[in-house]
């Protein structure tokens, strides 16, 4: 089963969901703007992605520019920022069998689809 952290208003997220459906298999959809991951869940996703917390932050979002641009935060502080403002979470995140990818394009998704 795939889990996708999805924003239905995002074209890349909609495309990733379409690819998952085309490939078959069960898909659990988490609309993270309505059902934000907890700090513990975000830490787990970051670990599965193999990135730093800051690398999961969408830096083009207005809320980033208003509140966080130019600041140096710890991983814990970035995670808190994403819980407080979930629009900051990069999307879509796809998880399967303890592995996660940011599914921006089919090439990146291939890492988890096979």
Per-domain residue ranges of the chain: 1-32+91-114, 37-89
Q: pLDDT at position 61, please?
A: 96
Question: What is the reported pTM?
Answer: 0.92
Distance, CA of 44 to CA of 18 (rounded, Å): 25
Record: fold of 1-32+91-114: Glutaredoxin (3.40.30)
Q: pLDDT at position 104, please?
A: 87
Q: pLDDT at position 23, please?
A: 87
Q: pLDDT at position 24, please?
A: 84
Catalytic residue among 1, 2, 10, 53: 10
SS3 call for 15: helix
Q: pLDDT at position 95, please?
A: 96
What is the separation, in whole angstroms, between the first and last Cα of the chain? 13
Distance, CA of 1 to CA of 80 (rounded, Å): 28
36 is catalytic: no
Mean pLDDT per block of 10 residues along the chain (114 residues) reads 96 94 92 96 97 97 96 97 97 95 88 82
């Amino acid at each position: 089963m795939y889990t996708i952290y999805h924003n239905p208003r995002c074209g890349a997220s909609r495309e990733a969901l379409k690819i998952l459906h085309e490939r078959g298999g069960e898909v659990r959809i988490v609309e993270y703007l309505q059902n934000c991951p907890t700090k513990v869940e975000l830490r787990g996703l970051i670990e599965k992605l193999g990135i730093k917390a800051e690398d999961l932050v969408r830096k083009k979002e207005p809320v980033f520019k208003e509140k966080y641009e130019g600041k140096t935060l710890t991983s814990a502080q970035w995670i808190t920022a994403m819980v407080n403002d979930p629009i900051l979470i990069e999307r879509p995140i796809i998880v399967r069998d303890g592995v996660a990818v940011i599914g921006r394009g089919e090439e990146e998704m291939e890492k988890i689809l096979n």
